[in-house]
Structure 1
Amino acid sequence: MKRQNRTIAHLLLASTVSFTLFAGCEKETDPVSRAAKVDEKEGIAVPSLEETKAIAEEAFIFGLPLVMNYAVMQEFAVDKNSGQFKAPFNQIKNERRVATPEDTAVITPNSDTPYSICWLDLRAEPMVISVPSVEKERYYAVQLIDSNTYNYGYIGSRATGSEPGDYLVVGPDWKGEKPAGIKQVFSSTTPFSLALIRTQLFNAGDMPGVERVQAGYKVQPLSAFLETPAPPAAPTINFVPATTAGIKANFYEYLDASLEFVPVMPVDKEIRTKLATIGIGPGKKFSFKDLSAEHKAAVILAMKEGDAKVDKFLSTGMKNINGWNVGAFFGDAAFYKGDWLMRAGSAKGGLLGNDPVEAMYPYTRVDAAGEPLDGSKHNYTLTFAAGQLPPVNAFWSVTMYDGKSQLLVANPINRYLINSPMLPTLKKNADGSVTLYIQKDNPGADKESNWLPAPNDTIYLVMRLYWPKTEAPSILPAGEGSWKPPGILQAK
């Protein structure tokens, strides 16, 4: 089974590469050289070799989320043989289960809520998303994400309430007024967009309750909603197949393919223009194998250094609180403000995450002392003091991931997380606190209820706080809130 985004996010380059940037023989097929000739003809300054490397590095950082998103779209909505296929465009796939280690298309998958997934094609006409009445105690959220990986809107418990309603999602070229019967209009910056729906599961026996809610989710074209003639269908697209091997071999060709469906915006006009100077953009074909030796060297170094900058952001770009990284990762175009490094970090840290008001994601790879978490070397504990459980309006969880792949960890009891709906079954300490046992081996019958199984290797832990409270104690504002996640301790 392909694991595309894990491969992309830890992209390429396991070996150390050391190249000297030198002048050499130019190849007629070299996409950088071809772009340079066009620039020269149009009186535009041609990038030097060092400038080419710098632009390729910027392209990697700018393009990483776009390529990751494109690959997920391929797996979910295009390639029926991907092993992760959900449904064709504009059709909802209701998952009647939570994520397991078998789900590999998206890194750090949520295993709290069954998903309903619909990839929207907004080219021919807008789509209407309809939601049912949902009981107030059950959290649900429809997260709208475009191909820029911007979260451009929400429907659900927090954003719109528990009442039924019809909502319009439009593409970047749509012009019109809000139709009668539509509660709100959401505008995607791209013609393809993902509607990612989370429905809270209270416990293992609650799946029928989730299924009743899921049955009320509906997606239809605006013409069908209005009962008017449908416009002509959008042209068929021959998408570039997103294979793991292909992306490893030629990241920038997939960036070209991604950019076909990402219109230029004022915020990214400058970097898109810069990318074009080395032959990257929609309608282009940046083929790594056609590069000259010196350009290959420059591009490889650019990807290595770009990936290192993303990793550095992930380790230092957030507020460190007791070993947990706490901050605001995800949002719309106004949230990122052209900070491509933050956007790349959010994708690599956990693609398709929520805005902080919808969910917060403290994450860690280290214990409270700053030592790397490793299930092959230590057992650990995480203790929430009495009255100090994560403050949320919906629910919270602590999820275990393999430290290398960021995928869920197979274990003997098929437990991938501990969350607040499990509190009635968790054992409390004498002082009212709750201790979680984080280790690869079963801690014994008296502690098994509180056991979060770990890999026999490095550990990546993510805490999720859905609909975090805004009144004190609160984790908000991100990194500055009055509630602090407790540190993880090595077991004695």
Structure 2
Amino acid sequence: MKTANFIASFFAGVATARVVAKDTACPAQAATEFAIAYGEPLLSYAHAFSQLPKGFPANKLYANTALATPNQTAIVSPNVDTLYMSQMYDISRDDLIVMVPEVDPNRYYAVSFYTPEGDNFLNLGSLLQTKAGKYLLTPAVTSDTAGKIVTGCKETYQGTVYSPRTLGYLLIRIVLRNQDSDIRAVNEIQRRFSTNTTARSGEPIGPELKATLFTNVSSVVVENLLAFMARFNQTIPPRNGQPVLPAGTTSNLSLAGIVSDGTYRKPDCVDLAQASSATNASITKYSQSPDFINNLSNGWTMLRPDLVGTYGDNYDARTATAVFGYLALTKDQALYPTYKEGFSLGANESYVLRFSGKPPVTDIGFWSVTMYDSRGTLVPNSINRYSLGDRSNLTYSDGTVVYGTDSDAPFDILIQASQPPANWTSNWLPSPSTPGSFKAILRFYVPTDALSNGTYTYPQVTKGAVRK
């Protein structure tokens, strides 16, 4: 999904960013800014819906059975560590049965549930030592159970997952132990996953997941967003009279014109362009602040792990994370550090990433560095290599393999466009043939605390001459 570009285009289309002072004569102005920040990640959900194959219904589990290639551009910065299965779910009328098969406990997999706004409210899988069997997905009826799994209450199911929304996203990731022979084994695991709807008694809850839910009501982008939010507010199930949202959230949305009947009515005093501009400035400032970014060693940074995946009422963090990557996992599942200066090479230049030692992931964890061009597309190259990591044939300078020995000595990854000398081949990650900027994304799955608490020394990045 072209999530990052889609979000960027939304903000680019509003107005030049500047902070707008709160106008006490129009309290709805500030409430509108709040509402935009609250609801903006829904644009990514709308975009995901628009990318479904023609005629592809909701509640249909779709499997990516092959790895991404440079020819595929629909997904920005796809990882080549896992194969995916995905489903936009709708439990507004019926419940959903998710069948989880037996999976080797030493193979990482995650069955991740998300709200449309991108909250990763639950992960089944190897980390949770999930039992094989059927799981029931149903709307939450109390605040206490929303986003949680309850086991042992229904004999037919291993557990009941209580969704905070009637609409959402299901994403299944299964790690590849290598990018060749293991694909067939993962495909077999994929075939044993399934989802099916099952009838639920009671009245329907909110709108169905159909194209009409995303219909534009105005030529003004932000007005469409607010109208879209109003419809999606009806996907929050009632919870025995308890507050559906925090009181402050409900008050601000109401003041902004988000009406309980699922419509948006702009208050007369509100300037939507100004509200969009102010929200853009506020989120941009927040996304660059120490409140959201942790500085790591050697110029690497990371979104604060406690603010990623589940957000509570921190809507600035939710929106800022969606800009970096919609459907981010919680910190126990994955971390996504970035190199602050970015990467750019001239025609005769290279980078060396010197790792201080093997990144400390858990026994079922894994890591990779993946190469993309400036648009987020995998980079074509003569050896069809798009990433390097713990499942690669990395070697130390003396030629011994990094993984397969007990050594934890430093090792290097070479980034350049041209073929290097033979002693670098195993550790070479090809960069784009055209000089300029590109992306080299580091990912850690099932990380230890050392990767986020400052204990681990991140790779030293050195630019130099191309290796010939």
* TM beyond 0.5: yes
What is aligned with 1:397?
Answer: 368
What is aligned with 1:429?
Answer: 397
What is aligned with 2:78?
Answer: 109
Matched ranges for 1:320-335 at <5 A: 320-326=296-302, 327-328=304-305, 335=310
Whether the 8 Å CA contact 2:31–2:252 is kept in 1: the answer is: yes
- Measured at CA, do residues 58 and 16 of structure 1 come closer, stay the same or move farther in structure 2, by a change above 3 Å? closer
Please say if 1:273 is aligned against 2:251: yes
What is aligned with 1:463?
Answer: 442
What is aligned with 1:6?
Answer: 5
Query: Match of 1:461, as an amino acid?
Result: A
- Measured at CA, do residues 338 and 118 of structure 1 come closer, stay the same or move farther in structure 2, by a change above 3 Å? same
How many Å separate the matches in 1 of 2:228 and 2:436?
Answer: 32
What is aligned with 2:110?
Answer: 141
List per-residue Cα deviations over 1:464-492 (Å, max 9, x = no partner).
2212246xxx32xxx31532322322235
- RMSD, matched Cα: 3.8
How many Å separate the matches in 2 of 1:361 and 1:71?
Answer: 23
The Cα of 1:116 is off from its aligned counterpart by 0.9
How many Å separate the matches in 2 of 1:105 and 1:241?
Answer: 22
The Cα of 1:193 is off from its aligned counterpart by 1.9
Please say if 1:490 is aligned against 2:459: no
Whether the 8 Å CA contact 2:141–2:237 is kept in 1: the answer is: no
Matched ranges for 1:351-390 at <5 A: 351-366=326-341, 372-376=342-346, 378-385=349-356, 387-390=357-360
How many Å separate the matches in 1 of 2:216 and 2:77?
Answer: 20
Please say if 1:347 is aligned against 2:322: yes
Whether the 8 Å CA contact 1:65–1:148 is kept in 2: the answer is: yes
List per-residue Cα deviations over 1:422-450 (Å, max 9, x = no partner).
1xx23321395321122344435543432
Q: Secondary structure of the residue that 2:106 maps to in structure 1? A: coil
- Measured at CA, do residues 302 and 260 of structure 1 come closer, stay the same or move farther in structure 2, by a change above 3 Å? farther
The Cα of 1:96 is off from its aligned counterpart by 0.5
How many Å separate the matches in 2 of 1:71 and 1:220?
Answer: 24
The Cα of 1:14 is off from its aligned counterpart by 7.3
Query: How many aligned positions are there?
Result: 432
How many Å separate the matches in 2 of 1:447 and 1:355?
Answer: 35
List per-residue Cα deviations over 1:210-229 (Å, max 9, x = no partner).
11111110112345xxxxx9
In structure 1, runs of 5+ residues without a counterpart are 23-45, 224-228, 367-371
Matched ranges for 1:404-483 at <5 A: 405=375, 407-413=376-382, 414-422=384-392, 425-430=393-398, 433-455=410-432, 456-469=435-448, 474-475=450-451, 479-483=452-456
Q: Which of these residues, 183, 186, 195, is aligned with residue 161 of structure 2?
A: 186
Task: Specify which structure has the higher proportion of helix.
Answer: 1
List per-residue Cα deviations over 1:130-187 (Å, max 9, x = no partner).
11111233211111112232222121111124x5222222113499993213222221
List per-residue Cα deviations over 1:308-365 (Å, max 9, x = no partner).
2354249962233322223306666xx5231112112221111111111112222224
Task: Specify which structure has the higher proportion of strand.
Answer: 2
Q: Which of these residues, 151, 160, 167, is aligned with residue 129 of structure 2?
A: 160
Query: Match of 1:270, as an amino acid?
Result: G
More displaced stretch, 181-190 vs 51-60:
51-60
Taking every aligned residue pair, what percent have the same amino acid on both sides?
22
How many Å separate the matches in 1 of 2:14 and 2:373?
Answer: 22
Q: Secondary structure of the residue that 1:395 maps to in structure 2? A: strand
How many Å separate the matches in 2 of 1:314 and 1:10?
Answer: 25
TM-score w.r.t. the length of structure 1 is 0.75
More displaced stretch, 199-208 vs 55-64:
55-64
- Measured at CA, do residues 160 and 482 of structure 1 come closer, stay the same or move farther in structure 2, by a change above 3 Å? same
More displaced stretch, 111-120 vs 144-153:
144-153
In structure 2, runs of 5+ residues without a counterpart are 400-408
What is aligned with 2:280?
Answer: 304
The Cα of 1:285 is off from its aligned counterpart by 4.1
